[in-house]
Amino acid sequence: MGRFFVIGLKGSLGVSGLVLLSAALVFVHDFITQAAYFKVKTLSVQGTRRLSRETVLEQAKIRKGTSALGINLGLTRRRLLAHPWIVDATVKRQLPSGVEIRIQEEDPLALVEMGDLFLVNRQGEIFKKWSPSDPQDLPIVRGLDFSDVGVLGAPPSAAWKDAMAVLRRITAPHALFPGSMVQSVHADPELGITLCLFDGGKALHLGHGDFAVKLVRFREAFLRLSAMENISDFDVIDVRERDRIVVIPVRTGPVPRTGKEA
């Protein structure tokens, strides 16, 4: 009987000891994490181009006065990645009282018109629906729908790939063909790619593939036209065929009238 009493007493003491130890650890943890020494005083935000510092901190849900030790770094990173403009993010403590956030933003390539306008990045991925606060000076891709993008594991269509390939070339640094000339890109499964230039009144027919060569040919034709006295401007330049370039000059003079005059 006495032996069972001793065993029970030891067990009770052991449980009590664990409870006390747990309480002590919780107390120490709370004391450390709530200590003024570890309160966030410095917040460093790097990598922003379009997003403001305030937007990033609001998305991260971090503010001055928060305990640096109490911040869940993994959860904070997931919050940042939930923002459509943020591709990647890292969150680091700079003890005793600092936090560093570094983000990588999306690099928008174009707008795609599919009922609504959507932003596409340089990887050819739609990353958000366009809103008035988003860039407005991007070329618009028309003639495609969601089936061209590639959904549920299906690959993008050839027309989508062609449109993205042309856009990457004309927006690349030091591109021979300035992307600022392009107002919109029309993708057609049969006719291929057509660029609407300047105010949309001029067209460049590129067709399918060989876009690097075709853009160089267009540039050469454009420079020659600029030097010619009898043709100062154009409506259409067609470089779809390898062995010829078709130029339709701007029509000048009176527009022919049809029908009988009263």
- Please provide the DSSP assignment of 73-113 as one string: HHHHHHHHHTSTTEEEEEEEEETTTEEEEEEEE--EEEEEE
Are 227 and 113 members of one domain? yes
Question: CATH no. for residue 51?
Answer: 3.10.20.310
Which of 72, 105, 138 terminates a domain? The answer is 105
pTM of the model: 0.77
In terms of DSSP H, where are the helices of 82-201?
146-149, 158-171
Quick: pLDDT tens for 52-64: 999 999 999 998 8
In a domain, 18, yes or no: no
Q: How far apart are CA 228 and CA 136, in angstroms?
A: 35
Angle made by CA atoms 213, 219, 221, in degrees to the nearest 5? 105
In a domain, 14, yes or no: no
Per the structure, the count of domains in the chain is: 2
Within 10 angstroms of residue 174's Cβ, the number of other Cβ atoms is: 4
Residues of the domain holding 64: 36-105
Tokens coding 151: 């959904």
* Number of residues that make up the chain: 262
In a domain, 67, yes or no: yes
For helices 211-227 and 158-171, angle between their N-to-C axes, nearest 10 degrees: 50
Are 119 and 162 members of one domain? yes
Residue 200 has pLDDT above 80, yes or no: no
In a domain, 22, yes or no: no
Of the listed ranges 105-109, 128-132, 241-245, the least confidently predicted one is 241-245
Are 55 and 125 members of one domain? no
Q: How far apart are CA 246 and CA 244, in angstroms?
A: 7
In a domain, 49, yes or no: yes
Are 216 and 184 members of one domain? yes
CB 206 within 8 A of CB 194: yes
Are 201 and 136 members of one domain? yes
Residue 76: pLDDT band (50, 70, 90) is: very high
In a domain, 8, yes or no: no
Residue 29 has pLDDT above 60, yes or no: no
